[in-house]
A and B are shown apart, each in its own frame.
Chain A
Amino acid sequence: MTPPAKVPVTILTGFLGSGKTTLLNRILSEEHGKRIAVIENEYGEVGIDQALVINADEEIFEMSNGCICCTVRGDLIRVLGNLMKRRDKFDYVLVETTGLADPGPVAQTFFMDDEIRAEFALDGIVTLVDAGHIEQQLGRSDESTEQIAFADVLVLNKTDLADHDRLDQLEARLRDMNRMARVVRSEKANIPIETVLNLSAFDLDSMLERRPSFLEPEYPFEWTGTYTLQPGRYALRLAEGPDPEMSLVAVANQGSSDTELREGAEWCVRRYAEEAEALLPDADLPIDKHINLQLQASGHKSFFLQVDAPMQLGLFAQHTAEEFDIQLLNTADDAVVPVQAERTWVAQHEHDDEVGSFAIERDGDVDSDKINAWLGKLLRESGVDIFRMKGFISLAGEANRFVFQGVHMLFDGQPERPWGDEVRRSQLVFIGRNLDEASIRQGFDECLV
């Protein structure tokens, strides 16, 4: 007996006025040949030809154990349970929540209830954001924050209500809160149906295709350049730039391959964690130390480096070379030393919101017993603050990728396609409130084989 394919479910959230009904109308009126059942809580005017629309009063059922992660939507369990009995089953289910809904219980319903779980799969959560009003809403309610944190797709709607710069800022803030979500902009919820249906929220690969940098760690420096230096005396010259000071670590013997640059970056993160030593212009640049170049004076400033034996110099700078027109000159002839390799990093920045997200990416296998124990403990202890997580794991001894997603302390995973020739690695994304990123990273690393 092969298990029947589960019916995918999209959850549509967003504050009142964010455009949910407009989007719903668009989806339902588009020619897509799918049989869609819509379960809605707000009595909107939805014109339907090919879909079934069911109004269900939101019934939030808490459990006697008091755990918020076990809270489910009783009305959904009932309605979906009955829907699934029809032979002309639906290809798709869309659940619209009320504007003030906490998305947790809706999403949890698809993990918690064994009967629902057997028939349906949460495909994704789409949150509509009113570009003109979201900033006020974020300040006022936990629900709007959580709706953003839970989303797989954030539709930044009503873009006509904000200017371009403001939209960019808004998008950056949303991305901060939820790195996992794809952000799309729209004026009148006029987004293609593929944006909200069949998201395959499990699928991190498609997300990486869209945003290759989303799993990259953030670093306290933005730029790295490497130089091949012969013995001599060199000047690091900076023009005036955007900041009166800049942190820097100069590394001896820095390789230029991407792997070596990454290794160097990891090493420099620890240097950056040490207290910086202020360095005035014309001073000598110490190697392997966190220094803070004092750039208050006007005009060009230089710092010097004495090289006694050939070396590969790496500079890890808080700002890009471009911003300060950073140049390395040989003092013998004032010739510019060419950069051998350079790259920029995703810069760390202040996170204003309590809600944030981060990703872990590691090559190699993890021990399945260890990761089970670690995840179990993590979800038990921090499940309330972990809104969502998803990713894939390379389990030692397993031929297939293990994909998973979770909502609060609920976890759902399954073996997926075989690894084949692909490099075995793991990727995990966490979104939550006040998450202890460092300890979660460390916990995961301890599970590596």
Chain B
Amino acid sequence: MSDQTARGALRPGWSAIVDDYAIAGDWALNGALLVVGDAAGSVFGFEGTSGTIRWQKRALHSSGLLAMAMHPDGDRFATAGQDGQVHICGADDGAVRHTIDLGRGWVEHLAWSSDGNQLAAAMSRRVYVSDASGTLLWQSDDHPSTVSALAWSGAEQLATACYGRVSFFEATSGELAQKLEWKGSLVSLILSPDGDIVACGSQDNSVHFWRRSTGEDSMMHGYPGKPSNLSFDQSGSLLATGGGKTVTVWNFAGSGPEGTRPGELEMHVQPITALSFAHQGRRIASGGRDGGVVAWSLQSGGNGVAIGAAFVGELIGGLAWRPDDRCLAAFDASGGVTVWRIHRQ
């Protein structure tokens, strides 16, 4: 299935297959392990260098997995599924350490606070926050619609997106701290590393963003599709967005991005389905419905060049850079897990 004839910076590493659509994955144990969850509810731990299976947990979520989030320390991860449960598992053996049962419903989103002390889970119209051992600390009231995305502002506040609104909750009390309202169905959410910029992709094929420090908001129109994928670089100056075949990169340094032309990265032949900036520098990886993965090197303004590309054949569901950025993993719709070594020119 996977085509290992990668070009440029993407050099063949290893590949593997999980049981179903590979929904989510991330590196654990400082890059020694790659954890991948599939739609059938199974989770696999692959040795980071060889791809050998270290452990596998079949049917961790009986009716299917919906989300996975790696703890910032990389030693444990959380999973959530259609069974209304959240598991916190150890990365070394995949064993479930704690389980949170939220009742009947789909738990669709998970996010750890930056200090790793809190885990947020979204089910239907509510968000539930627990500590690292799965003890529920607080839960929100009903949002106006199903919560569509989660993001932490450091360890202090939790942001949620839903139809018409981004809400900020105090991490410890769960008190509603701020509401950013805008009439539209917000399908994705990301905060800049300093927490000031809030960006959301909207169902009406636009990206809306706010600056919390000034209260200003703007909207970027003209996407051919809905921008479901967003990624900030670690400096917070570049925001890459999907929403079509082109990766559109907005530059927040200086007075932009209002009134500026974004960087446009064109190579995919079908819409973008995954985007991930590397941990350092201005490299970004994009994946598409076309089954292609492209690594790009960007200039400070947001334009850039492809430094490597590979074709794995199926819709790319997720991308993850190893903590040292020396490897890139892609997870695809047919259950393929593909890892490339990043060749430094």
Which residues of A are in contact with B by a Cβ distance under 8 Å? Answer: 1, 57, 59, 61-65, 70, 72, 74-75, 77-78, 82, 85-87, 112-115, 118
| One of B49-57, B126-134, B179-187, B300-308 contacting the partner | B179-187
CA of A63 to CA of B333 in the docked complex: distance in angstroms? 30
Contacting residues, chain B, for A114 (C-beta < 8 A): 224-226, 271
B204 at interface, CB cutoff 8 A: yes
Q: How far is the CB of A35 from chain B (nearest CB, A)?
A: 15
In contact, A74 and B333 (Cβ under 8 angstroms): no
From 318 to 342 in chain B, residues with beta carbon under 8 angstroms from any chain A beta carbon are: 333, 335
A74-B146, A86-B39, A118-B289 are known contacts. Are A63 and B184 too (CB-CB below 8 A)? yes
In contact, B203 and A115 (Cβ under 8 angstroms): no
From 25 to 78 in chain B, residues with beta carbon under 8 angstroms from any chain A beta carbon are: 39-40, 64, 66
Q: How far is the CB of B207 from chain A (nearest CB, A)?
A: 13
Chain B residue with the shortest CB-CB distance to A74: B185
CA of A317 to CA of B229 in the docked complex: distance in angstroms? 66
Contacting residues, chain A, for B64 (C-beta < 8 A): 82, 85-86
Contacting residues, chain B, for A62 (C-beta < 8 A): 183
Contacting residues, chain A, for B148 (C-beta < 8 A): 74, 78
Q: How far is the CB of A449 from chain B (nearest CB, A)?
A: 31
B145 at interface, CB cutoff 8 A: yes
A87-B39, A114-B225, A115-B228 are known contacts. Are A61 and B203 too (CB-CB below 8 A)? yes
Contacting residues, chain A, for B290 (C-beta < 8 A): 1
A82 partner, pick from B106, B163, B202, B224, beta carbons under 8 A: B106
Chain A residue with the shortest CB-CB distance to B105: A55
Q: How far is the CB of B123 from chain A (nearest CB, A)?
A: 12
B21 at interface, CB cutoff 8 A: yes
Chain A residue with the shortest CB-CB distance to B64: A86
In contact, B203 and A113 (Cβ under 8 angstroms): yes
Which residues of B are in contact with A by a Cβ distance under 8 Å? Answer: 19-21, 23, 39-40, 64, 66, 82, 106, 108, 124, 145-146, 148, 163, 182-185, 202-204, 206, 224-226, 228, 271, 289-291, 313, 317, 333, 335
B333 partner, pick from A1, A70, A85, A115, beta carbons under 8 A: A85
B226 partner, pick from A75, A85, A87, A113, beta carbons under 8 A: A113
Q: How far is the CB of A146 from chain B (nearest CB, A)?
A: 22
In contact, B204 and A64 (Cβ under 8 angstroms): yes
> 25 A-B residue contacts at CB 8 Å?
A1-B291, A57-B146, A61-B163, A63-B184, A63-B204, A64-B202, A65-B204, A70-B204, A72-B185, A75-B146, A78-B108, A78-B148, A82-B106, A82-B108, A85-B23, A85-B64, A86-B20, A86-B39, A86-B64, A87-B19, A87-B335, A112-B203, A114-B271, A115-B226, A115-B271
Chain A residue with the shortest CB-CB distance to B125: A57
In contact, A85 and B228 (Cβ under 8 angstroms): no
In contact, B313 and A61 (Cβ under 8 angstroms): no
Contacting residues, chain A, for B202 (C-beta < 8 A): 64
CA of A62 to CA of B333 in the docked complex: distance in angstroms? 30
Q: How far is the CB of B77 from chain A (nearest CB, A)?
A: 19
CA of A93 to CA of B296 in the docked complex: distance in angstroms? 39
Q: How far is the CB of B96 from chain A (nearest CB, A)?
A: 22
A113-B226, A115-B226 are known contacts. Are A1 and B21 too (CB-CB below 8 A)? no
Q: Which among A65, A114, A115 has the greatest number of chain B C-beta atoms within 10 A?
A: A114
A59-B163, A82-B66 are known contacts. Are A74 and B228 too (CB-CB below 8 A)? no
Contacting residues, chain A, for B291 (C-beta < 8 A): 1
Chain A residue with the shortest CB-CB distance to B334: A87
CA of A68 to CA of B176 in the docked complex: distance in angstroms? 32
Contacting residues, chain B, for A70 (C-beta < 8 A): 204
A61 partner, pick from B23, B185, B206, beta carbons under 8 A: B185
Chain B residue with the shortest CB-CB distance to A79: B106
B184 partner, pick from A64, A86, A113, beta carbons under 8 A: A64
CA of A63 to CA of B219 in the docked complex: distance in angstroms? 13
Closest A-B pairs by Cβ, 10 of them? A61-B185, A114-B225, A85-B39, A85-B21, A63-B204, A87-B20, A64-B184, A64-B183, A59-B145, A86-B39
Contacting residues, chain B, for A82 (C-beta < 8 A): 64, 66, 82, 106, 108
Contacting residues, chain A, for B185 (C-beta < 8 A): 61, 63, 72, 74
Q: Which among B40, B146, B313 has the greatest number of chain A C-beta atoms within 10 A?
A: B146
CA of A61 to CA of B290 in the docked complex: distance in angstroms? 29
CA of A62 to CA of B164 in the docked complex: distance in angstroms? 9
In contact, A86 and B108 (Cβ under 8 angstroms): no
Contacting residues, chain B, for A87 (C-beta < 8 A): 19-21, 39-40, 335
In contact, B145 and A61 (Cβ under 8 angstroms): yes
Q: Which among A1, A61, A62, A63 has the greatest number of chain B C-beta atoms within 10 A?
A: A61
Q: How far is the CB of A111 from chain B (nearest CB, A)?
A: 13
CA of A64 to CA of B271 in the docked complex: distance in angstroms? 23
Q: How far is the CB of B248 from chain A (nearest CB, A)?
A: 15
Q: How far is the CB of B183 from chain A (nearest CB, A)?
A: 5
CA of A43 to CA of B256 in the docked complex: distance in angstroms? 49
In contact, A74 and B163 (Cβ under 8 angstroms): yes
CA of A113 to CA of B333 in the docked complex: distance in angstroms? 19
In contact, A63 and B146 (Cβ under 8 angstroms): no
